[in-house]
Structure formats: structure tokens, C-alpha cells
Amino acid sequence: MSDIAPLHPPITPYASGMLETAGVHRIYWETSGNPDGIPVLFVHGGPGSGTSPIQRRFFDPARYRIVLFDQRGSGRSTPHAELTDNTTPHLIADMEALRRELGIETWLIFGGSWGSTLALAYAETHPERCRGLVLRGIFLCRKSEIDWFLHGIRALFPEAQRQLAEFIPENERHDLLTAYHRRLVDPDPAVHQPAAFQWATFEASCSTLLPNPELVSAFCGEKTALSLSRIEAHYFVNHIFLPDNSLLANVGRIRAIQAVIVQGRYDVVCPIVSADELARAWPEARYVIVANAGHSAFEPGIARELVAACDRFAETGAFDQ
């Protein structure tokens, strides 16, 4: 993924640290780019995937103060794959604590997939802290979306979904979420690690318009596979710890915030219907459909739109049509 043309050149952080919390979690963060630039917070997906260096490259390092952080249990945050006190309100509180720790008054929030979920939840809780929102691959984490992801997706990826399902005994396959969750939270690596591999392989295999073995490999490393699958299942069985449909119901709180929604037409992991519903509820937001793309932020067309949006915002403070 290192040769994606629209991205800015690779950079290294100028600062990093661990944010302490009131409980067991310690949150990894880093800053790169221009210390005096526009603060932007990259909110990673999953939940549970963690950040990677390529994600710094959506932003012009001369114009942005780029903040990446690993959500609870993810990436370099500790303890790894820990579910205690790992809820959406906890993650929102971590984002606010990090903002204060770094001395930032307001920032641009950038998130895709689960990152769009958490970005919306944060913005609806703290709209006064958001200069703007860059959202990609919209996931509102409703029951219909989770059911599609684990079951309905077989309409387009029957091989991948069959492999996911057939790992589970036949009498449990009617409810894959419950079956996988039970295995993923089991403390025995002989139980949770094979389940994690199956879940991560499935998700990565469905995330791009064309097959991408590099993405599958990145998702399926032992550490990432466990945090991704365990934390996703944890959030899904708990309805993301928010009231049903709350993100769409509360969009009125953020309609005054500058925003762009970038959605791949053929996104199978987070189908376009959710982005469409969000855009209809939020007509002030700029809505961009990428005609030849699936789910991944690193699909060339999606990466191009995301970089262009951030460049425009740095120049004008808006996401112009």
C-alpha cells in the first residue's frame, strides 16, 4: 500500500507518548507534521485495528499537526485486546483527555468505517471541539448493518462468508456473532486465536473492490487479528454501548459543522445505504460517491478524495463542492 499515488510522502512522528486513564488502559498517541499546523485527529477503524504509519499520509505535513492514537486494547495501547472499561463513552472520554493533554482547543476529526462511527459519536457529544469532520465508509453500527456484515454479505462474497460460517458448528451458524464472541473472549489462545484469524481474514477479504493480499496479510497478523475480532465482537454484541440509531437520531447536533462524507459505491463491508441515510439527514455535508471503489481507505479513488478534502480544508477552512 506504500505506492498509493494520492497520499502525501511518508513522515515520522516528532512526539509520542502514553495517555494514562483511571483504569488499566494506557493509550498510545503520536504527533507528526507541523507542530503549529491545523490539529487533525485520525480515528482508526475496527474497532480494534490500531493505527499504522501510512495513515499519517492523508494530511499535508506542512499544514497539519497530525495526531494518531490507538484506541483501548488496540495497536500499541495496553493491555492488548483488553475489554474491561472498553466502551464508546470511554473512547470519547479518551479523545477529550488526549485533546487536553496536547493543548488543542479544536481539531479536525477524520475517521472511516468504525472510525466514522466513533467520530460521529464524539462530535455529537463535543460539537464545540470539532473544526470539521472527514468521514469515510459510513458505519452507524445498527443491527441491520451487523447482520449484513456477518450474514447478508454472502450475496456478494459467498466464498468468504462460507469460510467464516463453516468454522462454527452447524447448530450455531444461525447466530455467528454470538458464536464468535463466545470463542473470542475465551482466555485460551487455542480457542480465541483460530477464531480471530477466521474473522480477520473474512473482513479483509471483503474490504476492497479487487482482491488485495497485502491487506489480508496486515489484518491477519496474530496481534492485530485478535484485537480486531475480539473488540469488534464485543462492541457488536453490546450495540456499541449507545441507544439504538442514536448517531442518526442526533445528527442535528452537528449539522453546523463543516463535513465531507466519502463513500465507495461498491463498499460491501459498510454498504452505501448508511452513507445515503446520513447524507439525507445532513444536507449541509458534502457527499462524495466514489464510483469504482469498495470499502478500504486505500482504494485509489477513495484515497484521492480524502487527500483532496483535507487539502481543501487546509487552504480554505471548508470542503468546497
Between vectors from CA 157 to CA 115 and to CA 135, what angle results, nearest 5°?
20
321 domain residue, yes or no: no
278 domain residue, yes or no: yes
**Same domain assignment for residues 85 and 207:** no
**Same domain assignment for residues 224 and 282:** no
Whether 198 contacts 164, CB under 8 Å: yes
257 domain residue, yes or no: yes
CATH of the domain at 248: 3.40.50.1820
6 domain residue, yes or no: no
Q: Which of 113, 207, 274, 296 is catalytic?
A: 113
DSSP code, position 226? H
**Same domain assignment for residues 135 and 156:** no
Residue 293 pLDDT: 94
d(CA 180, CA 95): 29
Instruction: Spell 93-109 as b/e; 16+ CB within 10 A means b.
Output: bbbeebbeebebeebbb
Q: Which of 32, 116, 295, 296 is catalytic?
A: 295
- Identify the domain boundary among 218, 240, 262: 240
Residue 42 pLDDT: 98
**Same domain assignment for residues 127 and 250:** yes
**Same domain assignment for residues 250 and 135:** yes
Under-50 pLDDT residues of the chain:
1-2
**Same domain assignment for residues 36 and 122:** yes
Decide if 113 is catalytic.
yes
Which domain range does residue 275 map to?
15-140+242-316
- Identify the domain boundary among 200, 225, 240: 240
**Same domain assignment for residues 26 and 130:** yes
256 domain residue, yes or no: yes
290 domain residue, yes or no: yes
Residue 208 pLDDT: 79
- Identify the domain boundary among 183, 209, 240: 240
**Same domain assignment for residues 255 and 123:** yes
**Same domain assignment for residues 182 and 40:** no
Residue 217 pLDDT: 67
8 domain residue, yes or no: no
**Same domain assignment for residues 147 and 296:** no
**263: closest CA among 138, 148, 115?**
138
Number of domains in the chain: 2
Q: Which of 60, 70, 94, 267 is catalytic?
A: 267
Decide if 192 is catalytic.
no
**Same domain assignment for residues 167 and 219:** yes
**Same domain assignment for residues 123 and 134:** yes
Decide if 267 is catalytic.
yes
Helix then strand then coil, % of the chain, to nearest 5: 45, 15, 40
pLDDT per position as a tens digit, 289-319: 999 999 999 999 999 999 999 999 999 998 8
Between vectors from CA 211 to CA 210 and to CA 216, what angle results, nearest 5°?
135
Beta strand segments in 87-195, E: 107-112, 130-136
220 domain residue, yes or no: yes
